[in-house]
């Protein structure tokens, strides 16, 4: 999704802006641009496609300046063309924008009536013209921005510069993430702190409604016109965490980082084979009161939630519902007293999940209902973490590949910790059972390491997918969501149409699709459903389908004609979905590489979906 970088310094910042944009590439975009203020002029370069194209243009034109804004655009209003790329200029003002201005058409009509000429189809251009217009009544860029903001409806983050204000960068956060990177004699903004990590590890996280004015030596944050103190936080994430290292793609690196990421995530909660007393200690009273759980999430995080539903109900007897946030937020769901609302989100900024959370909180407050909210998230400073009562962090480190891998498996580990904690508080699970599951949880990183040994074999099998147009993934129980996740991974990065199904549903539709040309991926851990799953495999084989089975080494499933088997090391059935995520990730990865797609930044997709 769109990214913003901006800065005010004494040195030329064109390189910093370009490097920053490169670090935002993983979020997904289709064009990029920057504007620098230099000697009373706005110098702008914009290009369609990769940031590298923009970089070339900047190198060729040698544009430079110590004040500037830059942007990667993910088209919403108007095609990905140079004219629609940001920054947008009106008079001497240049603007970059993330999010959507919902009432832009009305504003555009008014501005056109005033004689403003639009050069793009974007919603953003209205902001540039409005600020330009407001500057007729005030010389202050900050004041002009303040006048414009109340006119804008929607969710947005803005970066604004003006030729007459060579030491001033104005920024606004209203529904889209924005951080200020605090430097020494220079200050920066970005929609994602990752962009600024090579320059600073000190950040101010703006809150909704904040307007900030940055100069080289000062940062002022205002809310409702009042100056406010926002704390500077120091981050310990290192730059190297966000580089590919020896791996060909971030996605592969992140797949291989899973054992360590899971270890990190569980270590924060465990003491030997027991839960630490201080783990989620502040939530104990709230957890004691809850009578059900409602999980809200999108994409891969939603699949993690689906698995947690099995765990909540089977292990600790607590009713659990899971829903896609984009549906939940619009269907006026009944908000029920004593419910724990859990947002699962690697970014903590996904627009639909955030909106569903806020709406739930508002409606619960209006009815004086007693609910508890919590976030499972990979970004400690995200909006969701800040806006929920409790949070549990997945300590996966930055995930750059658009297709989520280590964020997903650490979400599962975190969800299991949450289930055990709530069960312990409610006494619906014994300490012995907790100790058994925790011992298995500790063992999971090793099982994943062993599973990764199958990489070459999976690569070999992936060659059989390259020419396929369609694929089915089947699983039962907690492996039904893994089937959905496997299908999502394959379609996201290889562009092969794939569907995930509960294997028991095969006869109710998807079996009609099975023929010689249909690869069917089966997830076959050693669990109570194995025999039933074997019958489903027979059904596929009888129709000529080709089976690709990820099977427990003790499952008794053997390779035969049109049945390929990759053995997964034996793992406790409850935790098996964490492990079986890995072979489906590797399969999708290798198929995508063989098909020559842009694995880390698949077409049309974004890492952090901050607009609806």
Active site residues: 2, 607
Distance CA 110, CA 113 (A): 5
Between residues 13 and 407, which has the closer beta carbon with respect to ligand G6P? 407
Q: Is 605 in the site for ligand G6P (CB under 6 A)?
A: yes
Distance CA 311, CA 411 (A): 13
- CA angle in degrees (0–180, nearest 5) for 442-443-447: 140
Instruction: Choose the binding region for ligand G6P from 180-188, 216-224, 231-239, 603-611 (rule: CB under 6 A).
Output: 603-611
Q: Is 353 in the site for ligand G6P (CB under 6 A)?
A: yes
Q: Is 191 in the site for ligand G6P (CB under 6 A)?
A: no
Q: Is 298 in the site for ligand G6P (CB under 6 A)?
A: yes
Q: Is 380 in the site for ligand G6P (CB under 6 A)?
A: no
Instruction: Choose the binding region for ligand G6P from 67-75, 256-264, 298-306, 412-420 (rule: CB under 6 A).
Output: 298-306
Distance CA 58, CA 69 (A): 13
Q: Is 394 in the site for ligand G6P (CB under 6 A)?
A: no
Q: Is 607 in the site for ligand G6P (CB under 6 A)?
A: yes
Question: Pick from 258, 347, 444, 536: which binds ligand G6P (CB under 6 A)?
Answer: 347
Q: Is 299 in the site for ligand G6P (CB under 6 A)?
A: yes
CA distances from 442 to 266, 267, 392, 397, 407 (A): 8, 9, 18, 19, 18
Q: Is 581 in the site for ligand G6P (CB under 6 A)?
A: no
At closest approach, how far in Å is the CB of 299 from ligand G6P? 3
Distance from the Cα of residue 104 to its chain's centroid = 27
Distance CA 145, CA 130 (A): 9
Question: Pick from 404, 424, 478, 610: which binds ligand G6P (CB under 6 A)?
Answer: 404
Between residues 69 and 157, which has the closer beta carbon with respect to ligand G6P? 157
At closest approach, how far in Å is the CB of 86 from ligand G6P? 22
Beta bridge partners of 292: 339
- CA angle in degrees (0–180, nearest 5) for 484-487-488: 85
> Residues binding ligand G6P: what is the number (CB under 6 A)?
16
CA proximity to 505, closest of 540, 470, 464 = 540
At closest approach, how far in Å is the CB of 25 from ligand G6P? 14
Question: Pick from 351, 482, 609, 611: which binds ligand G6P (CB under 6 A)?
Answer: 609
Q: Is 388 in the site for ligand G6P (CB under 6 A)?
A: no
Helix 14-24 vs helix 51-61: crossing angle, to nearest 10: 170
Q: How many CA atoms lie within 13 A of 364 on its CB side?
A: 18
* Phi-psi category of residue 81: left, alpha or beta, with phi > 0 → left and psi -120 to 50 → alpha: beta
The arrangement of strands across the sheet holding 563-568 comes to 497-502, 470-475, 519-524, 546-552, 563-568
Two structure tokens written together for 145: 């921005």
Q: Which residue is nearest to ligand G6P (CB)?
A: 299
Sign of CA dihedral 6, 12, 14, 17: negative
At closest approach, how far in Å is the CB of 192 from ligand G6P? 12
Q: Which three-class secondary structure string do you get for 171-224?
A: EEEEECCCEEEECCCCEEEECCHHHHCCCCCEEEECCCCEEEEECCCCEEEEEC
Q: Is 588 in the site for ligand G6P (CB under 6 A)?
A: no
Question: Pick from 124, 145, 265, 300: which binds ligand G6P (CB under 6 A)?
Answer: 300
C-beta pairs of 111-119 under 8 Å, 24+ apart in sequence:
116/90, 119/83, 119/88
Between residues 90 and 301, which has the closer beta carbon with respect to ligand G6P? 301
Q: Is 500 in the site for ligand G6P (CB under 6 A)?
A: no
Q: Is 329 in the site for ligand G6P (CB under 6 A)?
A: no
Q: Which three-class secondary structure string do you get for 307-370?
A: HHHHHHHHHHCCCEEEEEHHHHCCCCCCCCCCEEEEEEECCCCCHHHHHHHHHHHHHHHHCCCC
Q: Is 396 in the site for ligand G6P (CB under 6 A)?
A: no
Question: Pick from 402, 472, 522, 576: which binds ligand G6P (CB under 6 A)?
Answer: 402
Q: Is 494 in the site for ligand G6P (CB under 6 A)?
A: no
Between residues 347 and 581, which has the closer beta carbon with respect to ligand G6P? 347
The label of the residue with tokens 């006048």 reads 147
Q: Is 301 in the site for ligand G6P (CB under 6 A)?
A: yes
Distance CA 192, CA 606 (A): 14
Question: Pick from 350, 388, 536, 563: which binds ligand G6P (CB under 6 A)?
Answer: 350
Between residues 283 and 488, which has the closer beta carbon with respect to ligand G6P? 488
Instruction: Choose the binding region for ligand G6P from 156-164, 170-178, 181-189, 346-354 (rule: CB under 6 A).
Output: 346-354
Q: Which residues bind ligand G6P (CB under 6 A)?
A: 298-301, 345-347, 350, 353, 402-404, 605, 607-609
């Amino acid at each position: 999704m769109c990214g913003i970088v901006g800065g005010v310094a004494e040195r030329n910042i064109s390189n910093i802006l370009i490097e920053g944009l490169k670090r935002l590439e993983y979020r997904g975009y289709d064009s990029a641009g920057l504007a620098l203020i230099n000697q009373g002029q706005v110098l702008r370069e914009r290009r369609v496609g990769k940031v590298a194209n923009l970089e070339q243009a900047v190198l060729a034109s040698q544009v430079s300046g110590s004040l500037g804004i830059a942007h990667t655009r993910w088209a919403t209003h108007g095609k990905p063309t140079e004219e629609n790329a940001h920054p947008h200029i009106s008079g001497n003002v240049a603007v970059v924008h993330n999010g959507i201005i919902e009432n832009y058409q009305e504003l555009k009509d008014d501005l056109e009536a005033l004689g403003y000429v639009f050069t793009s189809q974007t919603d953003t251009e209205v902001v540039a013209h409005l600020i330009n217009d407001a500057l007729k009544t005030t010389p202050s860029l900050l004041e002009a921005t303040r006048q414009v903001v109340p006119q804008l409806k929607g969710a947005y983050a803005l970066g604004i510069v003006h030729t007459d204000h060579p030491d001033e960068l104005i920024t606004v956060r209203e529904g889209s993430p924005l951080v200020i990177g605090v430097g020494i004699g220079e200050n920066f903004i970005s929609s994602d702190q990752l962009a600024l990590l090579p320059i600073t590890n000190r950040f101010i996280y703006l809150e909704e409604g904040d307007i900030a004015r940055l100069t080289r030596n000062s940062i002022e944050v205002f809310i409702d016109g009042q100056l406010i103190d926002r704390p500077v936080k120091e981050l310990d994430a290192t730059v190297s965490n966000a580089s590919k290292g020896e791996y060909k793609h971030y996605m592969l690196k992140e797949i291989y980082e899973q054992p360590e990421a899971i270890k990190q995530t569980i270590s924060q909660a465990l003491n030997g084979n027991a839960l630490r007393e201080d783990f989620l200690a502040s939530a104990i009273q709230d957890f004691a009161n809850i009578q059900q759980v409602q999980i809200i999430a999108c994409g891969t995080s939603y699949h993690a939630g689906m698995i947690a539903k099995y765990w909540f109900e089977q292990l600790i007897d607590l009713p659990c519902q899971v829903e896609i946030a984009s549906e939940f937020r619009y269907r006026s769901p009944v908000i029920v007293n004593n419910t724990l609302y859990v947002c699962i989100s690697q970014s903590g900024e996904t627009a639909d999940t955030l909106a569903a959370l806020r709406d739930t909180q508002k409606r619960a407050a209006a009815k004086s209902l007693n609910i508890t909210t919590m976030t499972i998230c990979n970004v400690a400073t995200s909006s969701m973490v800040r806006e929920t009562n409790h949070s549990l962090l997945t300590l996966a480190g930055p995930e750059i590949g658009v297709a989520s891998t280590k964020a997903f498996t650490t979400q599962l580990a975190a969800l299991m910790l949450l289930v055990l904690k709530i069960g312990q508080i409610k006494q619906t699970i014994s300490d012995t059972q907790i100790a058994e599951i925790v011992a298995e949880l500790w063992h999971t990183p090793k099982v994943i390491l062993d599973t990764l040994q199958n990489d070459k074999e999976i690569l070999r099998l992936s060659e059989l997918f390259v020419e396929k147009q369609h694929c089915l993934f089947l699983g039962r129980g907690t492996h039904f969501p893994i089937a959905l996740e496997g299908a999502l991974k394959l379609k996201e990065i290889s562009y092969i149409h794939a569907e995930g199904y509960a294997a028991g549903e095969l006869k109710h539709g998807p079996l009609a699709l099975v023929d010689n040309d249909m690869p069917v991926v089966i997830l076959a851990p050693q669990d109570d459903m194995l025999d039933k799953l074997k019958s489903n495999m027979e059904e596929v084989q009888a129709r000529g389908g080709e089976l690709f089975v990820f099977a427990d080494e003790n499952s008794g499933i053997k390779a035969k004609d049109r049945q390929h088997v990759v053995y997964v090391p034996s793992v406790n059935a409850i935790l098996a979905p964490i492990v079986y995520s890995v072979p489906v990730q590797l399969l999708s990865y290798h198929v995508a590489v063989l098909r020559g797609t842009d694995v880390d930044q698949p077409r049309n997709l974004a890492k952090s979906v901050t607009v609806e």
